[in-house]
Structure formats: C-alpha cells, structure tokens
C-alpha cells in the first residue's frame, strides 16, 4: 500500500513551508545563486515572507491575468495528473513555469459555466425548491409570487436568469470557505492562510473540470442508452415481452445522470483530496485518510451553504415589477419552435363498447408529456371540462417519485368544482407534440382514475392521467381537423382556413355555446368534444319535438363516475349549426329526466360525431365558429 501511495503521490518527506523557502540563498525556481532581488539566470523574483500575504497575492494575480501562454497547458496537465503538485510547486517558489492558481481556476470556471445544463453550482429555482432547505425556500417563493401577482413560471424564468449571474461571482465563496476548513484541520502546522487558499483553488479547479467532463460523458452515455431502449421497446412490443427493457427504463428514470455523476465526482475528489493532503502536509496515511473524509464532508456541506447563500442573494436582488392586472388562469404557450407549417397536435380515437354496440370514436386521446418526465402519458381532450385536470389515482405515484411534481402541488389552496374542493397544481408544464404550455391552474381530481402500482409506472404503455379542458383554448384559435385526427392552437388563422363564421358565446366557466336553428326556432347548444358518441343530446322534454318514431336503442354510459342510460331516435327535421344543415342523424336524451348533463343555460349538447368529416374552427378571441 505504501509503495502504491509513494508511486502515485510522491516520496514522503518533511512538509514544505514558506519559512524554509525564503531562507534559501539560491533561486527557488532554477537553483542559481542570487546576487540581487531577481535571478540572473531565469528572472524569477527572490522569495520574501510578504509574497504570500493576501494583498501581494491579489496584486500578482492581476498581473498574471493579462499574460496567457503555454504555461496554462503545463499547469493543467499537472493539475489533472498529480494531485497537490501545483500547490507544492507554488509553496516551494517554483512559479515561473506555471499559471497563477486563481487564473487557472477562473479559466476552468468559465468553461464550466459555458455548459448550461450543469446545475450543481448554478442551481436554478427548481433545484432550490427541492433541496434540503426547501422548507425555507418554498414559503418565501410562494409568498413572493403571490405578492407580485405573477405566475410561478414567470418568476422562475427571471430567477434562473439572475441566479446564473450571481453563480459566476459567488463560486469563489466556496473556495474561501474550504480554505478556512483546511486551516482548521492543519492548524498545528501554522501555515499561511494563502497556502490553504492555493490548495483550495486547485481542488475546486479539478472539481469543476471533472464535473464538466463527467456531465458530457454521462450525457453521451444516456443518449446512447435511450436510443438503445427505443429499439428494445419496439422489439418488446413485437414479441409481447416489454419486461426485457423495463428494468433499464426504471434505472434511468430513478437514477438518471445526477446519481452517476455524483458517484463519479465523489470518487475523483476523494482520490484528489487524499493525494493533495498527503503531498502538502506529509502526515501518515491513516491521519491523512481521516482528514480527507472530514474535508470531503466539509466540501459537500459548503456546497449546501453556497446554494443557500446563492438563493438569498438572488431572492433579495431580483426586482420584478408588480403587475397591475390580475393574473388570468389561462394556459400560456412557451414553445420556442416557429415553423412555416401549422403546429399540429395529433390525437387518436379510443373505442368503447356500450351495451351491444362498439363505438370506435368514443374519445379524443392526446399523447402528452408532463414536466419532461421519462414516461408515456395521454389525456382526453374534453371541452366539456372547464379546467384541465390530472386524476389523483394514476398521477399519485409519480408525485411521490418526482419532487418536481410534489413542489407544484398546493397543499393549502383548493378550488371547488361542482361543490367539491379539489387541490391545485401550480406551474405545470404540458407537452403536446412539439408544443409546450404552462399553467398555474391545474386541478388534481381526488380519487379519480385508475390506480397504479409503483412497478407499473415504468411500463411502456401510456397511462391515462387526466383531461385537457377548454381552458387551454382561451384567447386563441382552435382548429380541429377531424379527418386527419389532429388539432392546433393558433394566434392567427391562415387564409386557407377562412370560411363562413357565426358568432358564439362563452358560458360563465368558458365553454362554447353555439346557436342552433330547428324549425325557425333558435336554441342554445353546448359544443363538447368530450361527447364524442352523440351527434346531438337534447333535454328530455324536447325529445318528442325533435324526433320521430320510437326509441331505437338504449345505451348505458359512465360520465365522471355517474351511470346514465340514454335513448336515441332519428332526427325529425334538419338542424342548422354554424351555418350548416344536418339531417339523417340520431339524437339522444337520458332515459330519466334531468340526467342529460346539459348546462342550465343550454338546450342541447353536440359533440364530435356531428363533424367527423369536417374541420371545425373556434376563434376564442373574436367569438367566431366555422365549419370547413
């Protein structure tokens, strides 16, 4: 063991101190005899005790910062390959051939900060809200967001921009704190503080370097693994054995890059710390190892102190103007892609058997991403729901697994839906194809949906986890292309989609209410694309006026946990909706009066079945409805 340590870290000897270095009669760099304040052979200045004072060190640094040459590459080589060697050389006075330690640290720090996805020290708000001190951070942030009257997403964007600026300056705080720890660990050796500062600079330089290298390496490894998993998933579906890849997916979802990167860095820093402390302070292997463990624990503790300091600095220096208008609880598109074609979002029809009949277009199912989690989800697009909601039963395991979801759950804020108090989720990110949306108003529907076990979370089958409500459409233009099974949300309607438009109104909770003409009489009809099965549902007392003949069938359906029996009959005469005439359709009503789920301000409900061969355009900005 001793031979290995000698080979790796150098031959042990007496500790080198500045007192000994300044007493040498020869040049400390090349060994030539000194005849003045500078060496006549290499030009290095004679060592004095004041050379390692803080003021002299800063002055020397300012001079060195303007002179960059090949010394950087030589210094960098020894920094990576010989733990503690650069510090030892600096203390010995062998500095002419090496770059100044703080200059080396700054260069590596710049390289580290150039990598935007490494959050170990830049710590965005999402990380701060889930760190060990989250009980301090979360109330402060929530109160500030409420005070400013803005969305969490808006505050997060400004906070993350500001915190990166502070991180560039405050990383040096960790260096100073670690220097204090080293001076306490080796107090008995009575070293100059700058000697500990130099070692600390070199330790954090190597930490930032391997953090950058480790991030790039694991990013590449996980990218290759993800590609492999995709191929395995396809094979798994073909042979009906998805368990072949589930364990790998689960490992990647639970562990991710951060865990592997942390293990890698711990090993690297442990080796570098032991080698540096052994080389500089020359204590026994056992004592050095114990102090290495203490120093490593202190290093991680200093990271927490730094993050908390970074949070408070950013929190109290971030100035956001308070909005004068109340925050509207609408979805906001945050997609960065701007394409010449329309941003179509694909959907699929889900089938369902009701009684003796099978309906292949029972609901519009939309594949979604939730907070970029590595899982397959889908949600029903249902404009009959005035709010977007997640179902508690299927989403609950994911909330328990991922802190990013847990932090968005507002424990003390509830919204009443149909008299039932439901929890809200704040700042949710929802991905629909290439489009991404954020909202501060997503409902957690307690006790609803299919329950999932923890193991089933990681199966490739998409999980039905919620409903996309009409709130996602507010203040924009919705185009539903039924023949091609797609829809899009637009700020402006292209000319090719212009058609004859009719006015419509919005209900008090934002749902679309159209005019319907039947036998020259005007009726109010709710447009509900969640009602996919029925071309038209009318109130029970209107059935005879709209239909002919007797009941042709009875369907038993479940709507939001309520079982309802519907009867259908042929339409007696044409109806007109959106300027179009519709005839030869079946109309429906509930077998028992009052169970039709038709809003009080409406007479009927129409759904997707009436428009399967059309493109429907709903301009929420101008309250216009068109059929193309």
Name the helix (H) or strand (E) containing 521. Answer: strand 521-527
536-538/586-590 β-pairing: parallel
- Please, which residues bridge with residue 518 across strands? 521, 575
Say what the pLDDT of residue 617 is.
94
Check residues 455 and 101 and name the one with the higher pLDDT: 101
Say what the pLDDT of residue 269 is.
86
- Asked whether the predicted pLDDT for residue 324 surpasses 50, the reply is no
Which of 118-122, 161-165, 366-370 has the least mean pLDDT? 118-122
Which of 236-250, 411-425, 521-535, 574-588 has the least mean pLDDT? 236-250
428-432/505-506 β-pairing: unpaired
pLDDT tens digits, 427-451: 788 888 777 787 777 888 888 888 8
- Asked whether the predicted pLDDT for residue 230 surpasses 80, the reply is no
- Asked whether the predicted pLDDT for residue 337 surpasses 90, the reply is no
Cα within 13 Å of Cα(465), Cβ side: 22
- Asked whether the predicted pLDDT for residue 329 surpasses 50, the reply is no
- Asked whether the predicted pLDDT for residue 9 surpasses 50, the reply is no
Q: Residue 376 — very low, low, confident or very high, per pLDDT cuts 50/70/90?
A: confident
Q: Token digits for 222?
A: 């996980």
Which of 241-255, 478-492, 556-570, 575-589 has the least mean pLDDT? 241-255
* Triad 300, 306, 308: Cα angle to 5°: 110
Cα within 13 Å of Cα(395), Cβ side: 29
Say what the pLDDT of residue 524 is.
94
Which of 170-179, 260-269, 517-526 has the least mean pLDDT? 260-269
Say what the pLDDT of residue 303 is.
85
Say what the pLDDT of residue 448 is.
84
The average pLDDT across 532-555 equals: 80
- Asked whether the predicted pLDDT for residue 72 surpasses 90, the reply is no
DSSP state of 45: B
Check residues 112 and 189 and name the one with the higher pLDDT: 189
Q: Residue 234 — very low, low, confident or very high, per pLDDT cuts 50/70/90?
A: very low
**CA nearest neighbour of 205 among 113, 88, 109, 68:** 109
**CA nearest neighbour of 571 among 618, 520, 535:** 535
The average pLDDT across 104-126 equals: 71
Which residue is listed with tokens 């560039």? 168
- Asked whether the predicted pLDDT for residue 238 surpasses 50, the reply is no
Give the Cα separation of 379 and 292 in Å (integer): 52
Contact 624, 502 (CB under 8 A): yes
- Asked whether the predicted pLDDT for residue 22 surpasses 60, the reply is no
Which of 54-63, 178-187, 508-517, 603-612 has the least mean pLDDT? 54-63
pTM, two decimals, is 0.50
Distance of CA 583 to the CA centre of its chain: 49
The 3-class SS string of 138-190 reads HHHHHHHHHHHCCCHHHHHHHHHHHHHHHHHHHHHHHHHHHHHHHHHHCHHHC
Give the Cα separation of 194 and 192 in Å (integer): 5
Say what the pLDDT of residue 518 is.
92
Q: What is the mean pLDDT of the chain?
A: 77
How much of the chain exceeds pLDDT 90, in percent? Answer: 15
- Alpha helix stretches (DSSP H) within 240-255: 243-254
Give the Cα separation of 371 and 438 in Å (integer): 10
- Please, which residues bridge with residue 45 across strands? 38
Say what the pLDDT of residue 242 is.
41
The average pLDDT across 270-296 equals: 90
The average pLDDT across 356-365 equals: 81
- Asked whether the predicted pLDDT for residue 510 surpasses 60, the reply is yes
- Asked whether the predicted pLDDT for residue 454 surpasses 90, the reply is no
Which of 214-218, 369-373, 388-392 has the least mean pLDDT? 214-218
Give the Cα separation of 34 and 48 in Å (integer): 13
* Triad 364, 567, 515: Cα angle to 5°: 60
Contact 524, 515 (CB under 8 A): yes
Say what the pLDDT of residue 328 is.
38
* Triad 334, 340, 343: Cα angle to 5°: 45
Q: Token digits for 176?
A: 């100073």
Say what the pLDDT of residue 248 is.
44
442-445/389-391 β-pairing: parallel
The average pLDDT across 521-550 equals: 86
pLDDT tens digits, 581-618: 998 888 888 878 877 778 888 999 998 888 988 999 99
Give the Cα separation of 421 and 431 in Å (integer): 27
Say what the pLDDT of residue 61 is.
63
Say what the pLDDT of residue 577 is.
92
- Asked whether the predicted pLDDT for residue 354 surpasses 70, the reply is no
């Amino acid at each position: 063991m001793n031979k290995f340590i000698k080979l790796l870290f150098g031959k042990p000897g007496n500790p080198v101190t500045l007192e000994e270095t300044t007493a040498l009669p020869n040049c400390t760099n090349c060994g030539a005899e000194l005849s003045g304040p500078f060496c006549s052979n290499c030009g290095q200045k004679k060592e004095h005790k004041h050379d390692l004072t803080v003021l002299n060190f800063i002055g020397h640094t300012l001079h060195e910062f303007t002179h960059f040459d090949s010394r950087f590459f030589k210094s960098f080589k020894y920094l990576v390959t010989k733990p503690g060697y650069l510090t030892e050389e600096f203390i010995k006075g062998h500095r002419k051939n090496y770059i100044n330690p703080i200059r080396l640290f700054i260069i590596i720090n710049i390289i580290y900060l150039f990598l935007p996805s490494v959050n170990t020290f830049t710590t965005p708000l999402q990380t701060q809200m889930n760190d060990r001190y989250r009980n301090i951070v979360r109330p402060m942030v929530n109160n500030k967001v409420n005070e400013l009257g803005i969305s969490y997403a808006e505050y997060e964007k400004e906070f993350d921009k500001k915190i990166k600026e502070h991180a560039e300056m405050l990383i040096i705080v960790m260096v100073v704190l670690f220097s204090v720890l080293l001076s306490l660990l080796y107090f008995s050796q009575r070293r100059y503080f700058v000697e500990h500062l130099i070692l600390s600079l070199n330790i954090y330089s190597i930490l930032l370097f391997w953090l950058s290298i480790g991030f790039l390496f694991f990013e590449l490894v996980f990218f290759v693994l993800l590609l492999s998993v995709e191929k395995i998933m396809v094979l798994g579906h073909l042979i009906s054995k998805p368990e072949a890849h589930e364990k790998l997916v689960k490992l990647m979802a639970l562990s991710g890059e951060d865990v592997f990167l942390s293990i890698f860095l711990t090993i690297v820093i442990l080796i570098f710390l032991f080698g540096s402390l052994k080389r500089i302070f020359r204590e026994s292997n056992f004592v050095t190892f114990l102090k290495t463990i203490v120093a490593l624990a202190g290093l991680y503790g200093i990271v927490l102190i730094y993050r908390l300091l970074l949070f408070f600095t950013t929190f109290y220096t971030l100035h956001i103007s308070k909005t004068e208008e109340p925050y509207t609880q609408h979805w906001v598109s945050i997609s960065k892609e701007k394409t010449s074609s329309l941003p179509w979002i694909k959907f699929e029809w889900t089938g369902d058997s009701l009684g003796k009949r099978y309906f292949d277009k029972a609901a519009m199912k939309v594949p979604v991403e939730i907070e970029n989690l590595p899982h397959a989800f889908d949600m029903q697009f249902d404009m009959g729901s005035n709010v977007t909601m997640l179902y508690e039963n299927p989403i609950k395991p994911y909330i328990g697994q991922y802190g990013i979801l847990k932090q968005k759950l507002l424990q003390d804020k509830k919204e009443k839906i149909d008299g039932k108090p439901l929890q809200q989720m704040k700042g949710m990110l929802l991905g629909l194809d290439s489009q991404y949306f954020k909202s501060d108003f997503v409902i957690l529907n307690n006790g609803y949906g299919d329950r999932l076990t923890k193991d089933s979370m990681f199966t490739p089958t998409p999980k039905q986890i919620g409903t996309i409500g009409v709130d996602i459409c507010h203040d924009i233009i919705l185009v539903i292309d039924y023949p091609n099974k797609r829809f899009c949300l637009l700020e402006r309607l292209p000319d090719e989609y212009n058609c004859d438009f009719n006015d419509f109104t919005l209900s008090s909770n934002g749902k679309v209410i159209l005019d319907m003409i039947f036998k020259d009489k005007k009726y109010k009809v709710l447009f509900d694309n969640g009602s996919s099965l029925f071309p038209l549902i009318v109130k029970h007392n209107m059935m005879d006026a709209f239909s002919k003949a007797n009941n042709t069938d009875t369907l038993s359906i479940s709507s939001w946990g309520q079982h309802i029996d519907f009867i259908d009959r042929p339409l007696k005469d044409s109806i007109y909706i959106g300027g179009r005439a519709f005839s030869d359709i079946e109309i429906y009503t509930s077998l028992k009066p009052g169970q039709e789920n038709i809003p009080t301000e409406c007479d009927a409900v129409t759904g997707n079945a009436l428009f399967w061969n059309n493109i429907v355009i709903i301009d929420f900005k101008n309250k216009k409805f068109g059929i193309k």
